Amino acid sequence: MPDDVTRAGLTRRDSIRFAGAAAACLPMATIGSHASAQSTSAAPGAARTFPDGFYWGAATSAYQIEGAWNEDGKGKSIWDAYAHTPGKIKNGDTADVANDHYHRYKEDVALMKDLGATAYRFSISWPRIFPEGTGQPNAKGLDFYSRLADELKAAGIEPFPTLYHWDLPQALQDKGGWQSRDTARAFADYAGYMAEKLSDRVHHFFTINEFRSFTDGGHRGAEVHVGGGVIRLEAAPGLKLAPGDLNQVRHHAVLGHGMAVQAIRARGRAGTKVGPAEHIHHAVPLIATPDHIKAAQAATREANAAFLTVILEGKYTDAYLKEAARDAPRFTDEDLKVIASPLDFVGINVYKPTFYALASDQAPGWREIPFAKSHPGMFNRWLSLGPDSLYWAPKFVQSLWGTNEIFITENGCASDDVLAGDGKVYDTDRVMFLRAYLTQLQRATADGVPVKGYFHWSLMDNFEWSSGFGDRFGMVYVDFKTQKRTPKASAEWFRAAATRNAVA
Ligand code: GBH
C-alpha cells in the first residue's frame, strides 16, 4: 500500500514500533552523558572526514549515456558497429539513444548540483570530434563539450574529461585499430587538440579508461564459467587475436597514453594536469601484517605489468617479458620513455580485490587466495564485496610509485533497483556498499595516502556495455522509456557525505 510506506521503506507501524523501543531502552540521560564523556576522544560515529578540498564526483562515459549516435556530424565508433551487430548485446539493446544526455546535459548538470557534486568525470567521444579519427575536426562535436564544460563551471562543478573510454572511431578500426601504431599517434593528435580547445576551462584530463578492458576484452575476450554454463565476455571490436598480437595491442595502448600526455603538455595551457584512469588489478592482504602486506604489494606491481607498472616505471617487468617469451611486445627504449612520461596524478577504478594474497616462501613470494565460494557479492556476479580495496589500492599506488595525487575515478555497484510505491528507490545495498567502501577510503586519507577525490560510478543508470540496460549502476534511476530521472536513496547518501565531506 503506497500510503503505508514512509521514508526508507519502513511501514509506518514499523517506524513507530522502532521509536518506542529505542526510547524504552535508551533513556535520554544515558545518551547525553555517553556523548559528553566521549567528546574529547574518537566518539562512536565521530565524523570520518576527508581532507579539505576533496572532490566529490560522479562518473559516466560518452557511449554509455550520450545517445545522438549519428547526429551533428559524429562519425561511427566501434561500439556503434558492435552494438548494431545482432547477438552482441543483451536484449539487442544499443546506446543509439541511451540517456539522451547529448540533448539533456543541462538537466543532468542540475541533477549533479543537487547531489552536492563538486566534480564530474565524463568522456569525450573521439568520433564526435574527429569523425574519421584524424584529419578534419567536427566543430559541432567540439561545441557540445565546450557547452558542457561551461554548464559545469557555472554550477560550481569541476570538469574531469576522459579522452578515451573505448569508443574508437570505426574509420581507424578499419585501418587496424589498436593493432596499428598509427592509432597511438592519432590518439595523441586528438588529445592535443582537445587540450588546446578546452584547457582554458578544463584543468584535468584523463587519457585512457581501463587499458585491459578494451585491449584484452576487445581483442581476446574471455570464457567464464557461470552457474554450470559458459558465457563469453567481450568488448568491441570483438576480435580474438593470438597472444603476441594482443601484447602488441596492449603496447600501442600504453604508448598512445604516453604520446597523449606529451601532446597535452605541448598544446594545453601551462598547469594542465593529466593522468590515466586505470582499473588497477590489486591484491588485498588477507591478513594485514607486515609480511602479507609486502607480499600483496609485490603481487599488485606484477599484476599491472602491462599497464600501470610500465607507465609508472618505464619498464616491463622481467616476469612479464619472461612469461610472454616469444609473444612479448616489440618496443624500443624510446617507446618506454614516452610511455613513462611524467604524470600529475594517477586515477584508479576500484571495484573489488583482484585476489587476496598471503606471503609465501616460494617464488614469487606470494600466494593468490581465491574468493571463498560463499564470499558475498553485489548484484553482478563479478562484483565480490571487498571494501578494503579502497584502502589498499590507493595505498599501494603511493607506496609502489610515490604518486602524490591519486583520484578514485570509479567505484560503485549495480543494484536490482525497483521504484517503490512512493515513487522512490531504496537501494539499501548500494548505500551499504558506499558507506563500507568510503570508510576504507577515508582511512587511507587519514593515513596520509594522497587521494584528492572520489568519482562514483555512476551518476545515473546507463548502457552497461554487453549487459545493455539491465544492470543499473546509477545513483539516479532512469526510466529509459520516458527519460525520467529519479535520485535513489544512495543519491541522498552521497549528498549527505559530499556536503559534510565525511562518511555519512
Ligand atoms: C567499469 O569497468 C567501466 O569503466 C565502466 O564503463 C562500466 O560501466 C563499469 O565499470 C561497470 O561495469 O571478467 O567477470 O570480471 C569495471 C571493470 C572489468 C568489470 C571487466 C567487469 C568483466 C567481468 N570491469 N569485468 S569479469
Q: Which of 162, 216, 378, 410 has most ligand 1 atoms within 8 Å of CB, for mutation?
A: 410
204 pLDDT band, cuts 50/70/90, is: very high
Backbone angles phi, psi at 137, to 5 degrees: -75, 155
- Which of these ranges, 222-226, 230-234, 320-324, 473-477, has the smallest mean pLDDT? 222-226
Distance from the alpha carbon of residue 166 to the mean position of ligand 1, in angstroms: 12
| Ligand 1 contact, 210 CB (< 6 A) | yes
Distance from the alpha carbon of residue 349 to the mean position of ligand 1, in angstroms: 9
Distance from the alpha carbon of residue 122 to the mean position of ligand 1, in angstroms: 16
- pLDDT higher than 80, residue 15: no
Mean pLDDT for the stretch of residues 178-196: 99
DSSP 44: T
Q: Which atom of ligand 1 has the smallest separation from the CA of 224?
A: 14
What is the identity of the amino acid at 190?
Answer: Y
Q: Which of 279, 354, 473 has most ligand 1 atoms within 8 Å of CB, for mutation?
A: 279
Degrees, nearest 5: CA angle 392-395-398: 150
320 pLDDT band, cuts 50/70/90, is: very high
Question: And the C-alpha cell for 81?
Answer: 558497429
Distance from the alpha carbon of residue 351 to the mean position of ligand 1, in angstroms: 9
Residue nearest to atom 17 of ligand 1 (CA): 279
- pLDDT score of 228: 80
The residues with which 122 forms a beta bridge, in sequence order, are 161
- pLDDT score of 13: 32
Mean pLDDT for the stretch of residues 173-194: 99
Residue nearest to atom 21 of ligand 1 (CA): 382
57 compared with 8, residue with greater pLDDT? 57
- pLDDT score of 43: 56
- pLDDT score of 369: 98
pLDDT digits (tens, 9 = 90+) for 116-172: 999 999 999 999 999 999 999 999 999 999 999 999 999 999 999 999 999 999 999
Q: How far is CA 477 from CA 114, 373, 458, 471, in A?
A: 14, 31, 11, 11
- pLDDT higher than 70, residue 406: yes
The rounded distance, in Å, linking the Cα atoms of 100 and 483 is 8
Q: Has 66 been annotated as catalytic?
A: no
pLDDT averaged over every residue in the chain: 92
Q: Has 210 been annotated as catalytic?
A: yes
Catalytic choice (151, 210, 234, 302): 210
Distance from the alpha carbon of residue 136 to the mean position of ligand 1, in angstroms: 33
- pLDDT score of 382: 92
Catalytic choice (151, 234, 278, 410): 410
Are residues 406 and 394 in contact, defined by beta-carbon separation less than 8 angstroms? yes
Are residues 46 and 73 in contact, defined by beta-carbon separation less than 8 angstroms? no
DSSP 176: T
| Ligand 1 contact, 224 CB (< 6 A) | yes
- pLDDT higher than 60, residue 323: yes
14 compared with 151, residue with greater pLDDT? 151
20 pLDDT band, cuts 50/70/90, is: very low
Burial 280-309 (b: 16+ CB within 10 A, else e): bbbbbbbeeeeebbbbbbbbbbbbbbbbbb
- pLDDT score of 45: 56
pLDDT digits (tens, 9 = 90+) for 346-401: 999 999 999 999 999 999 999 999 999 999 999 998 999 999 999 999 999 999 99
Q: How far is CA 362 from CA 94, 317, 321, 358, 366, in A?
A: 48, 19, 20, 11, 7
Mean pLDDT for the stretch of residues 61-84: 98
Nearest to 288 by CA among 217, 359, 199: 359
- pLDDT score of 44: 58
Q: Is the pTM of this model over 0.85?
A: yes
- pLDDT higher than 60, residue 415: yes
| Ligand 1 contact, 471 CB (< 6 A) | no
- pLDDT score of 6: 31
Distance from the alpha carbon of residue 249 to the mean position of ligand 1, in angstroms: 19
Backbone angles phi, psi at 487, to 5 degrees: -60, 135
Mean pLDDT for the stretch of residues 464-476: 97
- pLDDT higher than 60, residue 321: yes
Are residues 283 and 366 in contact, defined by beta-carbon separation less than 8 angstroms? yes
Residue nearest to atom 26 of ligand 1 (CA): 382
Are residues 339 and 310 in contact, defined by beta-carbon separation less than 8 angstroms? yes
